[in-house]
Amino acid sequence: MNLEFSAEDLAFRDEVRAFIDKSYPAQLRGKQDEGDELTKDDFLSWHKVLAAKGWVAPAWPVEYGGTGWSQTQRYIWSEETARADCIRLMPFGLAMVGPVIYTFGTPEQKAKFLPRILSGEDWWCQGYSEPGAGSDLASLRTKAVREGDDYVVNGQKTWTTMAQHADWGFFLVRTDFEAKMQEGISFLLIDMKSPGIEVRPIITLGGEHEVNEVWLDNVHVPVANRVYEENKGWTCAKFLLAHERVGIAGVASSKRGVEKLKAVAATEMEGDRSLLANPFFRRKVAELEIDLAALEYTELRTLAGMAAGKNPGPESSVLKIKGSEIQQRLTELTLEMAGHYGAPYYRGFGEGDNEHPIGPEWANRAAPSYFNTRKTTIYGGSNEIQRNVIAKMVLGL
Amino acid sequence: MDLSTTETQGMLRDTLARFLADNYSFDARQKMLASPEGRDPGIWRALSSELGLTCAPFAEELGGMGGGAIENQIMMEELGKVIAIEPWLQTVVAGGGALVAAGGPLAEAVIPQIIAGEAVIAFAYAEPQGRYNLADIGTTAKSDGSGYVLNGHKGVVYAAPWATHLLVTARTGGGRRDRGGVELFLIDATTKGISRRDYPTVDGFRASEVYFENVAIPGEALLPGGIDLIERVVDECTIAVCAEATGIGRAMLAQTQDYTGQRKQFGVPISKFQVLQHRMADMLVEAEQIASMALMGTLRLDQEAAARKAAVSMVKAKVAKSIRFIGQSAVQTHGGIGITVELAIGHYFKRATMIEGQFGSADYHLERYEALTMPAST
């Protein structure tokens, strides 16, 4: 056991760096630098570059289109993409439904959906939460009734991220109303262009349109689009939630966030001293870095376990709790750093709008990001639920 | 010792609370924010000329009721309960406070206008480079015959788009960050050479970057007192936003209590879960401490400068942390709905967050408190 990279690893790192440097979409980079809102095409531009290279799904088994990288190479990949400030790929296809399909799907489902997830042809969304079923997800009421070769689905989902762009959604629906809570649920893949689906925006505190309500009114879904057995969808749901929690730690992007924070704090002056020289502020930055190191090595241990064939279990709740808190702390410190210039409300400029922002550019999104990032301790199973998972599943309380 | 309010003060609170209950629903506030002006000027008219509340903190000889800081505390607390975007802080506390402290003909002329609701004042004290240092000022006021000429840039001036007057800090002499040479001026907001870039703020107000280019102002615009006066005015403002935080904190707790009583998961109202009960209990603990500190600060505003500053910094350092805890806890307890624009709670959270940094962050005030009370040994 050691912490050093081998010569092969270092060569791989150089290869990755050179690739990102050469291939990262210039237009996307420009928009990120300007703080412009990113469109569906922007998100897909990087996805497609990676798909063409065969690097879009490092975590997948090679037979389905994975890279076959070692755990260390995957670590290097996430480090380097964060270091180069590459956007995070949409997780709904690659990190969520993809693994469910290759683990539980039929050969037909694998052949139909996996290539289109890899290519970016299909944009996916997640139909889990309902107005009455949040933390208590198993109480969901959206129902699917069998009618010949179809299910007819009725109900309402909420907090559906990026559903406004989605071609397909994976939905948890109730197929048995008599069964105990978790037992009557099925996992359906639904074409978002089906008649009877309506997507309504939910606007969040920073002014963003990220999440939606999805209404389903007599939506016909072929039985062939059910993954795994009828009434056994909870198995897929649990599998997916554990996977989601690992990715949710966001170590690499938080490290990048800390670097950005320190770079700005080193130049942001408070009289004669930089903010990074302010003993109060630097102490908080140091504490954040230390928390992040603890998270990083906890994640590395979890990933090593996964590489050895262990599915991520309830321990992934540790990653979710600490990862989300660190993401929030980063936005808190950025907002503190902004001082008075946290107050002006900045929506992000549309293309062709060249009005100067108010105050320093890095401060423009400080407050909206802080407000928006409150979501991290709520989504993916709230941190209260994660503690329940640890208490029950790990501690056996 | 007596911590009770007078009958008159109680009536003031009731009058404002009743008016706001009738006129400042969340929906009404949202409509004001969405309007071109970003507010309903009729509300300010009602508070001043109709209900006569703006006269509360001013001396009787100027048409006031003879009140002061306690009256401001009461008003700010009630305004906080509905996250009002009315310019009480800027007009009555900052503008009125500066005029009361400075006295003279300008005070005699403008205070009656504040009371009548004719004058709306914005406090232009911050500068882009200055952070919370009130003496870090690049805006200059050059003596020119009987008056001054202003040049410079003031940042994030709340209520400037609505203002008839600007309360401006500027340097008549000394180097950047020297305490000497900083003065306070009250000027007509329409004076030639003033330009603004207006924008909404994240907490629902309107504010501006204000630019002064060879703005000629009369000598009488100077309110004598220099940096000491400015610090006093800012201290009064600081306590006023802490009083506002009292109202906001209590409202957020009440809304969270209410929501958790209605929201059911796992077959029961989520208020039945002990982890949420303890969190709400902690929110109450913090809300009570905000109220206590706002009161302490209010009562110490008339102490001599060093004692006053130390007290104000204690208050703000504590309130900034407590209101952050309450806001974050309220949103977390609401869950996803707490970060949408649909529900009031998120809007309270936004104002609460801005109060944390307004007139100095917790760190700034801790440092000021330490410097005042625990001078470094040599």
pLDDT digit string (tens) for chain B, length 378 residues: 888 999 999 999 999 999 999 999 999 999 999 999 999 999 999 999 999 999 999 999 999 999 999 999 999 999 999 999 999 999 999 999 999 999 999 999 999 999 999 999 999 999 999 999 999 999 999 999 999 999 999 999 999 999 999 999 999 999 989 999 999 999 999 999 999 999 999 999 999 999 999 999 999 999 999 999 999 999 999 999 999 999 999 999 999 999 999 999 999 999 999 999 999 999 999 999 999 999 999 999 999 999 999 999 999 999 999 999 999 999 999 999 999 999 999 999 999 999 999 999 999 999 999 999 998 865
Select from A271, A343, A374 the Cβ nearest to the Cβ of B331: A374
- Residue A9's alpha-carbon distances to A59, A71, A166, B269, in angstroms, are 17, 11, 37, 53
- The helix/strand/coil state of A250 is coil
Q: Find the helix or strand (DSSP H, E) in which A226 lies.
A: strand A226-227
Classify residue B118 by its DSSP letter.
Answer: -
Q: How far is CA B360 from the centre of its chain?
A: 12
Smallest CA-to-CA distance from A237 within A289, A184, A288 is with A184
Q: Are strands B206-217 and B147-158 parallel, antiparallel or unpaired?
A: antiparallel
Are B281 and B274 in contact by the 8 Å Cβ rule? The answer is no
Are B199 and B207 in contact by the 8 Å Cβ rule? The answer is yes
Hey, are the CB atoms on B155 and A359 less than 8 Å from each other? Answer: yes
Taking CA–CA distances from A161, the nearest residue in chain B reads B336
Specify the pLDDT at position A152. 98
Chain A residues inside the 8 Å CB shell of B264: 132
Q: What's the token pair of residue B90?
A: 């800027």
Q: Are strands A168-174 and A124-127 parallel, antiparallel or unpaired?
A: parallel
Select from A139, A204, A345 the Cβ nearest to the Cβ of B202: A345
- Give the DSSP per-residue string, A257-285: HHHHHHHHHHH-EETTEEGGGSHHHHHHH
- Scan residues 114-153 of B and list those with Cβ closer than 8 Å to A: 126, 128-129, 131-133, 136
Hey, are the CB atoms on A280 and B136 less than 8 Å from each other? Answer: no
Specify the pLDDT at position A351. 46
For residue A349, pLDDT over 50 is answered with no
Highest mean pLDDT among A24-38, A176-190, A242-256: A176-190
Distance CA A186, CA A230 (A): 5
| Nearest CA-CA distance, residue A270 and chain B, Å | 6
- For residues A299-317, average pLDDT: 79
Are B73 and B239 in contact by the 8 Å Cβ rule? The answer is yes
The set of residues, in sequence order, having a beta carbon less than 8 Å from that of A254 and lying 6+ positions away, is A292, A295, A323, A326, A327, A330
With b for 16 or more beta-carbon neighbours within 10 A and e for fewer, the B4-37 pattern comes to eeeeebeebbebbbebbeebbeeeebeebbeeee
Q: Please give the span between the terminal C-alpha atoms of chain B, in angstroms, as a whole number.
A: 39
Are B88 and B80 in contact by the 8 Å Cβ rule? The answer is no
Specify the pLDDT at position A395. 93
Specify the pLDDT at position B377. 62
Distance CA A66, CA B44 (A): 64
Q: Return the number of CB contacts < 8 Å for A and B.
A: 123
Asked if B201 reaches chain A (Cβ–Cβ under 8 Å), the answer is: yes
- Model pLDDT for residues A43-74, shown as the tens digit of each residue: 999 999 999 999 999 989 999 999 999 888 98
- Give the DSSP per-residue string, B61-88: GGTS-S--HHHHHHHHHHHHHTT---TH
Q: Residue A140: which pLDDT band, with cuts at 50, 70 and 90? A: very high
Specify the pLDDT at position A314. 77
Q: Residue A286: which pLDDT band, with cuts at 50, 70 and 90? A: very high
Classify residue A374 by its DSSP letter.
Answer: G
For residue A353, pLDDT over 60 is answered with no
Chain A residues inside the 8 Å CB shell of B129: 269
A155: left (phi over 0), alpha (psi -120 to 50) or beta: left
- Residue B194's alpha-carbon distances to B46, B124, B204, B294, in angstroms, are 29, 12, 24, 36
The set of residues, in sequence order, having a beta carbon less than 8 Å from that of B30 and lying 6+ positions away, is none
Question: What is the model's pTM?
Answer: 0.95
Smallest CA-to-CA distance from A49 within A70, A24, A32 is with A24
Supply the angle between the helices B274-300 and B69-81 in degrees, to the nearest 10.
150
- A147 is a catalytic site residue: no
Greater model confidence, A245 or A22: A22
The residue from A34, A210, A213, A244 that is catalytic is: A244
- Residue A218's alpha-carbon distances to A2, A176, A365, B114, B314, in angstroms, are 57, 17, 41, 62, 61
Q: What's the token pair of residue B26?
A: 């969340």
Q: Find the helix or strand (DSSP H, E) in which A386 lies.
A: helix A383-389
Distance CA B315, CA B245 (A): 11
Select from A359, A367, A382 the Cβ nearest to the Cβ of B128: A359
Q: How far is CA B163 from the centre of its chain?
A: 15
Smallest CA-to-CA distance from A93 within A316, A244, A245, A311 is with A244
Asked if A135 reaches chain B (Cβ–Cβ under 8 Å), the answer is: yes
ipTM: 0.96
Select from B129, B155, B335 the Cβ nearest to the Cβ of A269: B129
The set of residues, in sequence order, having a beta carbon less than 8 Å from that of B304 and lying 6+ positions away, is none
Are B47 and B53 in contact by the 8 Å Cβ rule? The answer is yes
Residue type, A22: K
Are B138 and B149 in contact by the 8 Å Cβ rule? The answer is no
The pLDDT mean for chain A works out to 92
Q: What is the largest distance, in Å, between two alpha-carbon atoms of chain A?
A: 76
- The helix/strand/coil state of B269 is strand
Q: Residue A354: which pLDDT band, with cuts at 50, 70 and 90? A: low
In this structure, of A24-33, A368-377, B230-239, B292-301, the range with the lowest mean pLDDT score is: A24-33
To test the contact with chain B by mutation, choose from A200, A205, A282, A387 the residue with the greatest count of B C-beta atoms within 10 A, namely: A205
Q: Find the helix or strand (DSSP H, E) in which B348 lies.
A: helix B344-357
Distance CA A140, CA A171 (A): 11
